[in-house]
Amino acid sequence: MKTLLLLSTMLLMTACSNSVSVLPLPSTAKPAVKTAVMDKTTQKGTATLYRCKDDKEVRVVRNINTGNKSKKRQKSGSVINLTFNNVTQKLTSTVSESGNSYTNIHWHWFERGDANMLTTSVGKVLAEQCIIQKASPLEALEKDTNK
């Protein structure tokens, strides 16, 4: 009985000691996110530069697609690439009462005469009173912006 009491006491003493060895967790590296890189040297279409209130700029690129993909896109609606504050988003045309509207989950672009406007998806105005500054074939605008 004394040996059993002694063994259980020793077991409790070792179990409650502070020197617990902890193995380090293996570092899990985040997987690299692959994004599609658009080759801007082979794009065909038009690029339009808009100057907005408070000297903001919005650039809209309308691509002219060729091949089978363009037929599918024509059925689903037209697509634009819109750049604002060095961020480019792909927006799809949506149903609108007047003018053209393009949207994705982040931005909404409204084209209504001289009242062009860019808002966030929750309605915060990013750029308003946007007027066409320059509309040209895509190749010419690419050369101008690379100077």
**DSSP codes of every residue in 23-90:** PPPPP-PPPPPP-PPP-GGG--EEEEEEEEGGGEEEEEEEE---SHHHHHHHHH--EEEEEETTEEEE
d(CA 138, CA 70): 18
Looking at residue 113, what DSSP letter applies?
Answer: T
d(CA 51, CA 84): 11
What pLDDT, in 10s, does the model give residues 4-38? 777 777 777 766 656 656 666 666 655 565 555 55
Who wins on pLDDT, 49 or 10?
Answer: 49
Yes or no: domain 41-145 corresponds to CATH 3.40.50.20: no
d(CA 74, CA 5): 85
What pLDDT, in 10s, does the model give residues 96-147? 888 889 999 999 999 988 789 999 999 999 999 999 987 776 654 455 555 4
How many Cα atoms occupy the beta-carbon half-sphere of 142 within 13 Å? 12
| Domain boundaries of the chain, sorted by first residue | 41-145
State if pTM tops 0.95.
no
